[in-house]
């Protein structure tokens, strides 16, 4: 049994790395951090359909805000939000692999987080939402935050936990447990499992599944390999990696 966890980002162009990585793994199933409604929404968006007023009403105000903010950030990077999940779904089909949607219902998860938040946490979230809406160099700001995250993913998420304990518990910790359980079931049924997840979930899920010895690829590696000068190297044995400017990125987070 082989389990591969790929850390992705919902607003970045990772096609140059993601497609060949999934193809090289020859998966029997590809698991996505999506629920059925979100996958359908991404497909409709790719086809040019935009949410109707009724769609937006059903989604709820907070979910709409989060979706709109993600879309605006993605636009600044020249991609569609969630595009990496559609790329992974296409790659699964090309490889003849099954597709598994392993996340909870996104709308209900956000609603539950809001219901459980205290007043102080809600006010902090509203303030940060207001600040993020101010005119500024959005792409540069996001890249700066991403650099902070890459330097210390665990420390960054701990900062999120301190400032937004309910959001961290409901949107990260509980979803990690839910998706890890789904992946564990898939490894019983399938020999080769590839999961494409938001990079912020990778450490938590890898820890929950440590006994399965997952192979891990992080977002920063995919970003590097999606740039110019990258040559995809076919797997040697159980090793899969990128050659980037002569530097091997193989065996990332496997203690090598």
pLDDT for 77: 35
Contact indicator for 67, 75 with CB cutoff of 8 Å: no
pLDDT for 49: 72
Q: Which of 102-111, 159-168, 241-250 has the lowest mean pLDDT?
A: 241-250
Q: Is the pLDDT confidence value at 213 over 50?
A: yes
Q: What is the 8-class DSSP label of residue 174?
A: H
Q: Is the pLDDT confidence value at 123 over 90?
A: no
Give the whole-angstrom CA distance, residue 47 versus residue 175. 29
pTM (predicted TM-score): 0.72
Q: Taking residues 56-79, what's their average pLDDT?
A: 47
Q: Which helix (H) or strand (E) holds 16?
A: helix 15-25
Q: Taking residues 37-49, what's their average pLDDT?
A: 82
SS3 call for 212: helix
pLDDT class of 241 with cuts at 50, 70, 90:
very low
Q: Which of 106-110, 146-150, 165-169, 239-243 has the lowest mean pLDDT?
A: 239-243
> What tokens does 209 get?
């599944």
SS3 call for 30: strand
Domain ranges of the chain: 2-218
Q: Where are the alpha helices (DSSP H) in 32-163?
A: 36-46, 53-59, 61-76, 83-94, 106-116, 119-132, 138-151, 153-163
Give the whole-angstrom CA distance, residue 218 versus residue 72. 24
233 or 154, higher pLDDT: 154
The highest-confidence range among 50-59, 177-186, 198-207, 233-242, by mean pLDDT, is: 177-186
Q: Is the pLDDT confidence value at 177 over 90?
A: yes
Contact indicator for 172, 165 with CB cutoff of 8 Å: no
Q: How many helices (H) and strands (E) does the chain have?
A: 13, 8
The upper half-sphere exposure of residue 21, i.e. CA atoms within 13 Å in the direction of its Cβ, equals 36
> What tokens does 21 get?
């990585």
- Whole-number average pLDDT of the chain: 75
Give the whole-angstrom CA distance, residue 250 versus residue 256. 8
């Amino acid at each position: 049994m082989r389990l591969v966890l790929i850390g992705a980002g919902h607003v970045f162009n990772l096609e140059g790395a993601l497609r060949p990585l999934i193809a090289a793994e020859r998966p029997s199933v590809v698991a996505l951090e999506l629920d059925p409604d979100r996958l359908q929404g991404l497909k409709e968006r790719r086809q040019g359909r935009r949410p109707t007023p009724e769609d937006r009403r059903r989604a709820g105000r907070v979910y709409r805000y989060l979706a709109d903010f993600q879309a605006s950030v993605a636009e600044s990077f020249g991609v569609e939000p969630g595009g990496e999940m559609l790329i992974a779904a296409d790659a699964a089909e090309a490889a003849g692999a099954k597709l598994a949607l392993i996340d909870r219902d996104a709308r209900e998860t956000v609603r539950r987080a809001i219901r459980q938040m205290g007043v102080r946490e809600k006010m902090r979230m509203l303030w940060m939402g207001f600040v993020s809406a101010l005119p500024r160099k959005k792409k540069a700001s996001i890249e700066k935050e991403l650099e902070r995250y890459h330097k210390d993913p665990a420390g960054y998420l701990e900062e999120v936990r301190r400032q937004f304990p309910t959001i961290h518990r409901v949107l990260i910790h509980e979803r990690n447990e839910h998706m890890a359980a789904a992946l564990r079931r898939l490894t019983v049924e399938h020999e080769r499992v590839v999961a494409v997840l938001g990079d912020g979930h990778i450490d938590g899920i890898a820890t929950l599944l440590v006994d399965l010895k997952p192979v891990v690829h992080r977002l920063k590696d995919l970003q590097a390999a999606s740039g110019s000068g990258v040559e995809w190297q076919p797997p040697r044995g159980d090793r899969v990696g990128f050659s980037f400017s002569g530097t091997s990125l193989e065996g990332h987070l496997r203690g090598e």
